[in-house]
Amino acid sequence: MSSSGVRALVVSVSADRLTARLQFWHHPLHGAVVSAAVVIAVFDALGNLGTTGTVTSVPAPPPLVPSDPV
């Protein structure tokens, strides 16, 4: 087992959306179960912060609109 924790990489940011990719270690045979548990934990954490969001283990397609210029 790896000793490294979860790493969040920001993919894009706009006024109303933040897209991040989480990286975490799991045993190769337990990927689906662990990924499902992470999705539920992140969704619950967002709810506890009083915010909403979409959480998935499937990479999202690119937004239909371009991101805000920096």
Averaged pLDDT, groups of 10, the chain, 70 residues long: 71 84 88 89 90 78 67
Rounded CA separation 24/4 (Å): 8
CA distances from 33 to 16, 23, 29, 52, 70 (A): 30, 15, 9, 23, 38
Residue 59 lies in a domain: no
Residue 61 lies in a domain: no
Residue 55 lies in a domain: no
Domain that holds residue 18: 7-48
- Strand (E) positions, the chain? 7-13, 18-23
pLDDT of residue 46: 87
Residue 24 lies in a domain: yes
pLDDT of residue 67: 64
CA 28-31-36 angle, to 5 degrees, is: 165
Total of domains in the chain? 1
